[in-house]
Structure 1
Amino acid sequence: MITTLRRAAVAAVLTVLPLTMTAPVQAASPVRAAVLGESAPLGVAVGLLPVSDESREGYTRTKFRHWNAGADLTDGCDTRREVLIAEAMAAPAVGARCALTGGEWSSYYDEQHVVGASGLDIDHMVPLAEAWDSGASVWTAARREAYANDQGAPASLVAVTARSNRSKADKDPGEWLPPAASALCRYAVEWTSTKLRWGLAVDEEEQRRLFQLAAGCGDETVSWTPAP
């Protein structure tokens, strides 16, 4: 949880700095990246992301199969329900065919308390269309399915209010940020870690906004595990 002071710092950075600012941390060299391994300060981690133009040519959502049977093939729950169960603050009752009843969740994008799973979407931290634009267009169908159902990293899939998820849609941080000031640093960390995990690129505007966020997020650190 970031402090009130840090929230104010993030808000000030986003208000004052233009999107055309020079990045405060330059992209790390291959040697530097090797030394850092799989953990780095947020600003350095952003610098590790390759910068590339994006193209949505050929994209359709059906090229990312989801939700599949999930990580546990024996419980009858698909990925969506497994994420809901894992992220619940108060566990729902799990009935036949993994029907969920009750339960409580916290949507960190907008600081909303949600009772009942019907008010929630499972958001891909980096949306499927954005992943396609950033490198997934050359993946195999099996790798895109693994991405769309990734439970190997907590940041990959997140339960949030349907309203905030649909406001975000397929936008990157250069186009959309969570409405709650308390969410900004966490969002920047999780977006960056997801792109690093899957070897995805960023465009220039996206990178500028991530550097802006990093400048106001103090000593936030990004940790990631490369996807298998």
Structure 2
Amino acid sequence: MRLSSTLFFAGAVLAAPMPMPTPPGIPSSSSAKSQLAGLTVAAANDDGAYDRDLFPTWDTITGTCNTREYVLRRDGNNVQVGSDCYPTSGSWTSPYDGATWTAPSDIDIDHMVPLKNAWISGANKWTTAKREQFANDVDRPQLWAVTDNVNSAKSDKSPDAWKPPLTSFYCTYASAWVAVKSYWALSVTSAEKSALTSMLNTC
């Protein structure tokens, strides 16, 4: 009897590599380097006033789908949803660590540029409406479906303090980070810029 090449371990599916999700707006490495050069370098301005509620999330994007459900459908494989848009089946490959999951509860929707990082790099001066647009931005590479505990490990860290486990994803990660900061005119610290430069040099 021939055994399947697919293995199951702690809820993850280990099989032939699934295609990685590709949110819109990821620049080429050369464009990302140009965008990075144009960012303002400044010390983080942590005024102690950050609150997650200052960035309203999971707006309705289309039909009955909120932002989380929209990204789960966009970034998954063979995703089927119910009338409420919540996935009933499908699989998700987390680009940060390469793990594939079949339960949406194992997937977090990560903000590429974390909300607190945005706050300390300029978003503290925005209106709540603008922060809401940022937190639900599906037009740029800001929202990613990733393994939940990997997202927890990242937390609100910038690339000088945390990088995805998959080094092969460094190029895309840094390109997406820079694209988001460039569009939203957010600053970077010198350490952050140095880390992004190193990651872009892996492209």
Task: State the superposition RMSD in angstroms.
Answer: 1.4
1:141 to 128, 152, 157: 128
The Cα shift of 1:61 comes to 0.6
Q: How far apart in 2 are the matches of 1:157 and 1:79?
A: 9
Structure 1 position 185 matched with structure 2 position 171: yes
- Note closer, same or farther for the CA distance 1:205–1:82 as it changes in structure 2 (3 Å cut): same
Contact 2:81-2:89 at 8 Å conserved across structures: no
**2: distance between equivalents of 1:192 and 1:115?**
30
Match of 1:68 among 52, 59, 68: 59
Between the aligned partners of 2:87 and 2:31, the Cα distance in structure 1 is: 38
C-alpha distance in 1, partners of 2:86/2:199?
39
How many angstroms apart in 2 are the aligned matches of 1:182 and 1:163? 19
Deviation at 1:106, TM superposition (A): 1.0
- Identical aligned residues as a percent: 38
- Say if 2:103 is the partner of 1:116: yes
1:47 aligns with: 37
Cα distance between partner residues in 2 of 1:200 and 1:161: 26
Any conservation in 1 of the 2:32–2:179 contact (CA below 8 Å)? no
Greater helix fraction, Structure 1 or Structure 2: 1
Give the corresponding residue for 1:77: 65
Q: Secondary structure, in 3 states, of the residue corresponding to 2:138?
A: coil
Runs of 5+ unmatched residues, structure 2: 1-26
Match of 1:176 in 2: 162
TM-score, scaled relative to structure 2: 0.82
Counterpart-to-counterpart distance in 1, 2:124 and 2:144: 23
Q: Compare the two structures and name the one with the higher strand fraction.
A: 2
1:163 equivalent in alignment to 2:149: yes
Aligned-partner residue type, residue 55 of structure 1: N
Alpha-carbon offset, residue 122 of structure 1: 0.2
Which of 170, 183, 193 is equivalent to 1:197?
183
Partners of 1:106 and 1:160 within 8 A in 2: yes
Residues 194-226 of structure 1 show CA distances to partners (whole Å, capped at 9, x for unaligned) of 111111110111011111122232xxxxxxxxx
- Counterpart residue number, 2:9: none
Q: Which amino acid aligns with 1:94?
A: V
Q: How does 1:84-95 map to 2 (within 5 A)?
A: 84-91=72-79, 93-95=80-82
